[in-house]
Amino acid sequence: MTWRRFGGDRGQAFPIYVVVIAGLLFAALAYFTIGKAGIVRSNAQGAADAAALAAAREARDTLVPGIDLTALSPEEWEQVLLGNRFDLSSAACGAAHDFAALNDATVECDASGTRFSVRSTTNGTVGDSVVPGTSGKHGAADATAEIVPRCHVRPGESGSGDGSTPTAPGPIKFSCDKGVVVDYNPARPRPWRSLAAALFDIRLID
């Protein structure tokens, strides 16, 4: 009689064992899916950040065609520093698309003044999943980058002549953050991309 009761107990415990194992397997698969979803989301955010920064950098490095830096007055330089002379054509958002592609994603890009907002979508997905609503889901994220001036024309030390007669523009001095002074000499002009990197920051913003 004792042996029969022991055998009966084993028979009742087996279904419980199966349920427990199945639950553990499901939990493991769920945690794996959540981890993979986090990676896909992280990839989307990385692609968005890179694309937004690329768009802002391209705009910062490209002025409106026809601008002659060697002929700008101090007042016209101030307009450049305000971001009113950047070429905000499709080239900037084109750079965003290129960088997104390098990160295996696509983006939607919008330019508003000196701000560039993108929404990225990963080409990769979470894949098959035991978690409802996650199978085949793409990662998506938003990012905005802004061109921020960090310099202004240094008063009283730009241009040439005494102001009584028109003269050719002279060297321009810019006072920048942290006490940095940037010089621009029309007689020995430096490439705009190099100068732009000194005059402007590019930042991701919330």
Neighbours of 172 (CB within 10 A): 20
Query: What are the DSSP calls for 54-85, one per residue?
Result: HHHHHHHT-BPTT--GGG--HHHHHHHHTTTT
Please tell me which of 25-34, 65-74, 131-140 the model is most confident about, judged by mean pLDDT: 65-74
28 vs 187 pLDDT, higher one: 187
Task: Please write the tens of the pLDDT for every residue from 92-125.
Answer: 999 999 999 998 899 999 988 899 999 999 887 7
Q: Quick one: which of 115, 144, 113, 138 has its CA closest to 125? A: 138
Say if residue 2's pLDDT is above 70: no
Q: What's the rounded Cα separation, in Å, for the pair 52 and 45?
A: 11
Higher per-residue pLDDT: 18 or 113: 113
Q: How much of the chain, in percent, has pLDDT values that exceed 70?
A: 69
pLDDT band at residue 83 under the 50/70/90 scheme: confident
